Structure 1
Amino acid sequence: MTLQELARRSVDLHVYSKDTEDTILRVARLFEERSGVKQLEDIGPESLLRFKTSTLSGAKEVTFNGYLGHLKALGSFAEEEKIVAENPFKKQRAAPKTIAPPKTVDQSTFRSAFWYLARNPTEFKPSWFWKTVMKTIYYTGIRRRQLVTIKLKDLDFENGTLCASAEGSKTRREWLIPLHPKAERVFKNLIVMSELATGRELRPNDYLFVIRRFNKRYAVNSINPEQMQREQITGFFKRLSGKIDARIGAHRLRHTTATKLCNPNEGGADISVTQDLLGHVQLATTRMYVHTNLDNMRKAVNNLPEIENL
């Protein structure tokens, strides 16, 4: 059996999101192309080294490690199905990661972004909509794919919750997110503006974030005309980053939310609470989102109880 055949079998037998399915199939194809090996029984140290060398020649360590995670999962699946005696990727170590700047958005960048949108209302039409996008991601920690799938029925103002539905979930799960007061206000405003734009009350299954209601220049989603394309969100952040000369994006906002929640001087939440809010299955994934700084580490160290005479 080839690795791509194994990947297809795994995708067919498991419940993954469309994006995860595409990633698994793509990683299997890339491994075969870069290693020169297709059959599972032929995968060994030499082919793994060729794949690693080829991948790291044009990508960062985190990309290779992400690929390796999928390959190890495929190897475990093959082992469970008794297709191979041992996971061929099991002993391959992750590439050492260089220390990268935190993927967070600081207050100065937030101010620059909102200032630019306020001063240039016609450049990102309508600017209030894009402010709503930014605030929603920040106050809820949801992904782009989840934002574009939010429906009216997902909001429960009486109990102050947003249901992050399985439709937009990377792991095909759903969970409840408590609504920050400011998030509740922007949602209510979005509903009012949407009803004014459509000339009717929104129905429970209506999507909330649909940019074409307010600006027809945006392309129609060919897969689901009623739903906004998440690439439109990516495009907005890319253009805005260029205008304010600072990096800001949906994923960075999500990292920022996680970091602030776990910061003892801000959210002060336990990391497991942050894990539940972000919808992560593994705590290790949440740890990748939380960026500590030296001052916080110093404060934690200084708070250690003293041990007499030592």
Structure 2
Amino acid sequence: MNNVNYDHILEDYFFSKYLRPATEWSYQKVLKSFIKFTGPEITPAEVNKELVLFWRRQVLTEMKLSRRTWNNKVAHMRAIFNHAIKKGMLSARDNPFNGVVTRPDIKRKKTLTPNQMSSIYIIMQSYDEAERMGTVQHPRRCALLPAWFWLTVLDTLKYTGMRQNQLLNLKLGDINLEAGIINLRAESAKNHREHAVPIARALRPGLQVLYDRSLALEAKPEDPLFNVSRFSSKRTDSQGCMDPQHLRAFFRRLSKECRSEISPHRFRHTIATNMMKSPDRNLRTVQALLGHSTVNVTLEYVEGNLDAMRTAVEEVFAR
């Protein structure tokens, strides 16, 4: 029983839970980082609270990762060990990952400034022009190509605020260009709730081109809408879901070009934060757009207006 390995536990856990591929990947990533810390010679049965606390020190003190990141790692590892203990794969009674979370720092949502947003589109439009003129160096190795495709990805994130997983799982049949609606499936939502978002006027042309080009390449309504492989000769899976690695490679390269951190979730935070500058008018609208289950989650995007604060302070001292 105590000779069970991580592969066996994880395989059984995935089989019993039936998780999304992206969720399975996150478990594998966290487990890999833990095994890297302990070394492959340490078995699950040998993991104790002291070892976990040493890992916490490394993550928070040496690697200087956030408390929120640490708590996320703990949640994954605790679930894995709970499963192993419950199924009798481990003889331990107590989960070594219980009671090791830290109180997370509450930070402002990470948004994109107007200058960052402008830089993103200037860079991508320059690649689009260079691609059409055939002047891009090593185009087969450039993660920003085809530029027209990635510009549509950026526009979709910018104008809808959808999550990365929702974008990757969007089907052609979920797009209703005539009605101007995108249907976001329950299985791709964090809260497992289906909801719809509008197609903004600025988003429509890019989506129309992507939709038409996908149909021209014999894509079916049940096929993913966003799959860069469909339009690139260097990748093979043209009808299945786009590999999340392609999306991560794109944003890594874009961040390097922009010299700032760019990610799908920052687009989501940006549209929500900007709309919540008028919470009385937009609270329910933002809740519906982002698909939040409760208003409390949406209210996290309300920030004090610094200009208004400055004016109020100056008025006090002026008196």
> Normalising to structure 2: TM-score of the pair?
0.69
Cα RMSD over matched residues? 4.0
| Partner Cα separation in structure 2 for residue 281 and residue 74 of structure 1 | 27
Q: Is the 2:251–2:263 contact (alpha carbons within 8 Å) kept by the matching residues of 1?
A: yes
Instruction: After superposition, give the CA deviation of every residue in 1:59-86 in whole Å (9 maximum; x if it has no partner).
Output: 5123322101212334554676687544
Q: Which residue does 2:238 correspond to in 1?
A: 225
Q: Which residue does 2:256 correspond to in 1?
A: 242
Instruction: After superposition, give the CA deviation of every residue in 1:82-122 in whole Å (9 maximum; x if it has no partner).
Output: 875444322113265485x7421122222222233334412
Q: Does 1:148 find its partner at 2:161?
A: no
Instruction: After superposition, give the CA deviation of every residue in 1:6-47 in whole Å (9 maximum; x if it has no partner).
Output: 44432221021123223324434544553576445x654312
Instruction: After superposition, give the CA deviation of every residue in 1:237-290 in whole Å (9 maximum; x if it has no partner).
Output: 33333334333232321222333344326972249x63x654567989x57x95
Q: Which residue does 1:114 correspond to in 2?
A: 121
Q: Is the 2:56–2:70 contact (alpha carbons within 8 Å) kept by the matching residues of 1?
A: yes
Q: Which residue does 2:63 correspond to in 1?
A: 58
Q: Which residue does 1:254 correspond to in 2?
A: 268
2:283 aligned counterpart, secondary structure: coil
| Partner Cα separation in structure 1 for residue 5 and residue 277 of structure 2 | 43
1:177 aligned counterpart, secondary structure: strand
- The residue type equivalent to 2:115 in the other structure is S
Q: Is the 1:157–1:184 contact (alpha carbons within 8 Å) kept by the matching residues of 2?
A: yes
Q: Which residue does 2:27 correspond to in 1?
A: 24
Distance 1:75 1:242, change over 3 A: closer
Q: Does 1:90 find its partner at 2:98?
A: yes
- The residue type equivalent to 2:199 in the other structure is H
Q: Which residue does 1:306 correspond to in 2?
A: none
Q: Is the 1:210–1:226 contact (alpha carbons within 8 Å) kept by the matching residues of 2?
A: yes
Distance 1:266 1:237, change over 3 A: farther
| Partner Cα separation in structure 2 for residue 204 and residue 98 of structure 1 | 42
| Partner Cα separation in structure 1 for residue 254 and residue 281 of structure 2 | 27
Equivalenced residues, count: 286
Structure 1 unaligned spans of 5+? 303-310
- The residue type equivalent to 2:197 in the other structure is P
> Normalising to structure 1: TM-score of the pair?
0.71
| Partner Cα separation in structure 2 for residue 46 and residue 213 of structure 1 | 49
- The residue type equivalent to 1:53 in the other structure is R
Distance 1:252 1:215, change over 3 A: same
Distance 1:59 1:23, change over 3 A: farther
Deviates more, 1:131-140 or 1:231-240: 231-240
2:195 aligned counterpart, secondary structure: strand
Distance 1:76 1:158, change over 3 A: farther
Q: Which residue does 1:73 correspond to in 2?
A: 79
| Partner Cα separation in structure 2 for residue 25 and residue 243 of structure 1 | 30
Structure 2 unaligned spans of 5+? 132-143, 313-319
- The residue type equivalent to 2:55 in the other structure is F
Q: Is the 2:191–2:293 contact (alpha carbons within 8 Å) kept by the matching residues of 1?
A: no
| Partner Cα separation in structure 2 for residue 115 and residue 163 of structure 1 | 30
Q: Does 1:269 find its partner at 2:283?
A: yes
Q: Which residue does 1:138 correspond to in 2?
A: 158
Q: Which residue does 1:175 correspond to in 2?
A: 194
Q: Does 1:104 find its partner at 2:111?
A: yes
| Partner Cα separation in structure 2 for residue 48 and residue 87 of structure 1 | 11
- The residue type equivalent to 1:68 in the other structure is V
| Partner Cα separation in structure 1 for residue 155 and residue 5 of structure 2 | 42
Deviates more, 1:130-139 or 1:248-257: 248-257
Distance 1:267 1:132, change over 3 A: farther
Q: Is the 2:172–2:225 contact (alpha carbons within 8 Å) kept by the matching residues of 1?
A: yes
1:268 aligned counterpart, secondary structure: helix
